Amino acid sequence: MPAAPQPEILAAFEAAKGFMPVDEGLALYDAAVTAGRLGLPLLEVGTYCGRSTILLADAARTAGVTALTVDHHRGSEEQQPGWDYHDPETVDPEIGLMDTLPTFRRTLHRAGLEEHVVALVGRSPQIAAVWNSPLGFVFIDGGHTDEHARADYEGWAPHVAEDGLLVIHDVFPHPEDEFTGQAPYRVYLRALDSGAFEEIPATGSLRVLRRTGAGI
């Protein structure tokens, strides 16, 4: 039986600003609970406003570990003005740039999960370059260009401990999804081709891979 969040946590997830559908959120939660049994931190790349962070934080609380979430909070490419995923409410009126950090903090506060999350505010490659500890779980959900998806994979996948989980969001194998999902799809294929990961059944665009112990 897959692990499931309490109704109040699921309600907080559904109320939070973000894009992840419920079925993928439930699969993410189950994977995070499973990985939490290793006793290592759970890390997310791509916080946005904290929708998925709610689930990781609750899974971390259950396991007695910490959830880490990495984001510069200026928005990825498809969230900028003029694009379909832009939300004007996330723009800082003083400087005219996106700033999702205040919304993220409110999201965690409302869910009662602030003490279970460490927010790493900065660009993923810079943070990964100074990270040197094993992780039980890495969730890649950052930028959707090849440059950013590749950097997230190369920066964080090597830190996934043996039997830990690498989860990749927005994996769309069809060429018509080039902008939203082809870069994550290519990273997913790279992870499988490395021989370092084996696949667990997918849910929607969410792919869950287990670290087998082989080198990346």
Q: How far apart are CA 137 and CA 143, in angstroms?
A: 19
**Residue 8: in which H helix or E strand, if any?**
helix 7-15
Q: How far apart are CA 60 and CA 36, in angstroms?
A: 6
Write out 53-95 in H/E/C secondary structure. HHHHHHHHHHHCCCEEEEECCCCCHHHCCCCCCCCHHHECCCC
For residue 144, indicate whether it is catalytic.
Answer: yes
Q: How far apart are CA 52 and CA 111, in angstroms?
A: 12
Q: How far is CA 143 from CA 38, 65, 207, in A?
A: 28, 26, 16
Q: Are 57 and 9 in contact (CB under 8 A)?
A: no
**Which member of 72, 73, 116, 144 is catalytic?**
144
Q: Is the dihedral of CA 199, 128, 86, 84 positive or negative?
A: negative
Catalytic residues: 144
